[in-house]
């Protein structure tokens, strides 16, 4: 009998072989790409060192840190990391020493006009669509100074013990921001422009790679997309750390198996508590079961699959398909009760709405209980209103599940014969129904949608000829349709529609609270039952997880909103300059 071979069979035969870079040799070709952990800020990098130490234990060939600025103007935010002083060099030595001989490179990142602070610089004084500040235009002297700062930053990185540096030259940051608007030696013809590359043809990209190699780069790490792309690349519509045991086990009831309840139940059980999860529906998910029906949000199926596995793994007792009352919770002597009961949609309170069969809730539409007619008015242009508009204007297979449909929808040239990979002319098919998206406010529709995804939703609906009307009042409903008045001009309109879908907000469900509070059981609210003004899955999961992490000592009623993000910290920092 022949001996079994120990050689690993792989489509990438060189993946686990050493790579000689000249100045050093990597043990294999597996790279941990650059990512911002939120641990780069502050005076201590101990947690960051521990993070990379864990990554190094996986025996990867090279680790690349999150972006470190070469100067003050290049910081992503006022508190972001930079490498310009001896004290910063010494702090980074803790990181490099923690890796214990595994390769680690520091990414040098200059944010350019993407910086969240008033000291931003860029090739031209043009504010980024996702930015808050208009950058200062770099002079020739400023560019030369910035180049020197890059060099010094690399020298400092070597002194700190890094094996190399990665220069961030894509994704829309400074080096990628030099457009063709300059007429000096940093703009104009291609030889000048490749010093600071912008969108390029494939031939130009290959030429640029050769120029970068000739300039001394040892490795090239490619990236696709940026924060201002006209084609979505990292949104859900695209086809596809802490652990501690508690010393005292609590009996915890979580009422509601939506995102907040699932997060709370799974984390609390993981921490050792005895958790029972209740929901009146036959399946977990709550509002996620509606959201996953939206074209482009099918990834929520995976979120629910994940939570299903988590509650099973950590032994959560799940009781579905039954309404739980306060007396049941009292009789079972729970130590803590978490209200993740969600919301109930608001109704349209205008003349004729209550009795009209045209008026339906978004819940009934997304549940499949109502089949929409050919002409639809959507009342409310928040996140749910936009979702319902997407649902109402799609049919058949979702483009996010089919690459060919996705390419057709967004005008992607898959032959790669056109610059930028975009078809020169793109004609969208006629819409399957006429949809009006309405809101009372006169502000831009979708203003509060995600900063980096809102444009996707607006553009997608424009492709389908959705008529967006803001600054109106709702007058009445009759057999003809919905009557509205434009607030500014007082013009009255009749929208002749088959259905009016109400997405005009929601109110929290808190009916169990009074009886529980009388029995002195600590009661906590999370998710929609805490704040129903605009449903937010990230906030709900954040709240549920954070409450579970401190449920032993948490006080009912204390704020459980999300922690300030680094951009909010930047706002607080920069506002002082305007106040002065």
- By residue count, the chain amounts to 580
Residue 460 half-sphere exposure toward CB, CA atoms < 13 A: 27
Identify the residue whose tokens are 């952990």. Answer: 37
The Cα 534–Cα 135 span in angstroms is 33
The Cα 52–Cα 62 span in angstroms is 11
Identify the residue whose tokens are 């494939």. Answer: 202
* Residue 269 β-bridge partners: none
CB proximity list for 546: less than 8 A, separation 6 or greater:
560
- Would you say 166 and 64 are in contact if contact means Cβ atoms under 8 Å apart? yes
* Residue 481 β-bridge partners: 478
- Would you say 262 and 311 are in contact if contact means Cβ atoms under 8 Å apart? yes
The DSSP code for 331 is: H
User: What 3-state class would DSSP assign to 308?
Assistant: helix
The Cα 545–Cα 548 span in angstroms is 5
CB atoms within 10 A of CB 161: 16
CB proximity list for 71: less than 8 A, separation 6 or greater:
82, 84, 110, 146, 149, 153
Distance from chain centroid for Cα 182: 33
Q: Is 12 an annotated catalytic residue?
A: no
Q: What own/partner pairs with CB < 8 Å and gap ≥ 24 does 574-579 have?
A: 574/78, 574/116, 574/117, 574/118, 574/132, 574/133, 577/118
Identify the residue whose tokens are 């294999």. Answer: 28
Catalytic residue among 114, 116, 173, 362: 173
* Residue 339 β-bridge partners: 255, 525
Distances (CA, A) of 98 to 16, 52, 95, 166, 492: 23, 7, 5, 19, 69
Four-residue CA torsion sign, 144, 150, 153, 159 = negative
- Would you say 570 and 79 are in contact if contact means Cβ atoms under 8 Å apart? yes
Token pair in block for residue 364: 């009934």
Tell me which H or E stretch contains 524.
strand 523-525
Can you list the alpha helix ranges (DSSP code H) found in 379-512?
A: 383-393, 403-410, 454-463
Burial code (b: 16+ CB inside 10 Å, e: under 16) for 413-432 equals: eeeeeeeebebeeeeeeebe
- Would you say 180 and 187 are in contact if contact means Cβ atoms under 8 Å apart? yes
Of residues 154, 114, 147, 112, the one with CA closest to residue 130: 114
Radius of gyration of the chain, Cα coordinates, nearest whole angstrom: 28
Identify the residue whose tokens are 């309404």. Answer: 323
Identify the residue whose tokens are 């490498």. Answer: 83
Catalytic residues: 173
């Amino acid at each position: 009998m022949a001996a079994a071979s120990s050689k690993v069979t792989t489509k990438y035969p060189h993946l686990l072989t050493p790579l000689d870079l000249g100045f050093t040799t990597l043990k294999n070709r597996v790279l941990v790409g650059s990512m911002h952990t939120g641990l780069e800020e502050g005076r201590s990098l101990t947690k960051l060192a521990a993070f990379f130490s864990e990554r190094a234990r996986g025996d990867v060939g090279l680790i690349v840190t999150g972006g470190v600025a070469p100067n003050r103007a290049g910081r992503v935010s006022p508190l972001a990391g930079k490498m310009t002083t001896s004290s910063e060099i010494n702090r980074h030595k803790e990181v490099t020493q923690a890796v214990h001989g595994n390769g680690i490179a520091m990414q040098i990142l200059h944010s350019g006009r993407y910086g969240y602070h008033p000291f931003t610089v860029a090739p031209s004084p043009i504010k980024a669509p996702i930015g808050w500040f208009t950058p200062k235009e770099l002079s020739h002297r400023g560019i030369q100074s910035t180049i020197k700062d890059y060099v010094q930053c690399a020298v400092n990185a070597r002194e700190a013990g890094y094996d190399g540096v990665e220069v961030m030259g894509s994704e829309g940051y400074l080096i990628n921001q030099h457009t063709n608007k300059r007429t000096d030696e940093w703009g104009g013809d291609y030889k000048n422009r490749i010093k600071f590359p912008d969108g390029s043809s494939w031939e130009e990209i290959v030429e640029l790679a050769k120029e970068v190699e000739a300039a001394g780069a040892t490795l090239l790490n490619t990236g696709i997309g940026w924060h201002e792309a006209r084609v979505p690349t990292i949104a859900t519509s695209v086809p596809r750390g802490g652990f501690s045991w508690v010393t005292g086990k609590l009996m915890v009831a979580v009422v509601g198996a939506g995102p907040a309840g699932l997060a709370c139940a799974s984390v609390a059980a993981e921490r050792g508590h005895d958790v029972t999860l209740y929901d009146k529906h036959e399946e977990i998910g709550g509002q996620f079961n509606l959201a996953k029906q939206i074209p482009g949000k099918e990834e929520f199926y995976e979120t629910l699959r994940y939570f299903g596995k988590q509650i099973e793994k950590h032994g959560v007792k799940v009781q579905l398909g039954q309404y739980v009352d306060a007396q049941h919770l009292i009789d079972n002597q729970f130590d803590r009760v978490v209200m993740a009961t969600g919301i109930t949609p608001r109704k349209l309170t205008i003349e004729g709405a209550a009795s009209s069969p045209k008026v339906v809730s978004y819940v009934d539409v997304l549940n499949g209980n109502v089949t929409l007619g050919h002409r639809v008015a959507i009342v409310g242009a928040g996140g749910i209103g936009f979702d319902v508009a997407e649902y109402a204007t799609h049919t058949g297979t979702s483009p996010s599940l089919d690459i060919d449909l996705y390419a057709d929808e967004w005008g992607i040239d898959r032959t790669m014969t056109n610059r930028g990979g975009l078809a020169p002319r793109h004609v969208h098919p006629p819409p399957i129904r006429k949809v009006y998206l309405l809101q009372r406010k006169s502000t831009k529709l979708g203003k509060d949608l995600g900063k980096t995804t809102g444009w996707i939703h607006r553009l997608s609906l424009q492709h389908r000829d959705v008529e967006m009307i803001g600054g109106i009042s709702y007058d009445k409903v009759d057999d003809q349709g919905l009557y509205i008045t434009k607030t500014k001009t007082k013009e009255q309109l009749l929208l002749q529609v088959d259905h009016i879908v109400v997405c005009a907000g929601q109110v929290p469900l808190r009916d169990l609270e009074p009886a529980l509070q009388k029995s002195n059981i600590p009661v906590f609210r999370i998710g929609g039952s805490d704040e129903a003004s605009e449903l937010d899955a990230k906030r709900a999961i954040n709240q549920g997880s954070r409450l579970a992490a401190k449920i032993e000592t948490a006080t009912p009623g204390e704020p459980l909103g999300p922690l300030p993000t680094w951009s909010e910290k930047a706002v607080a920092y920069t506002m002082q300059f305007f106040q002065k």
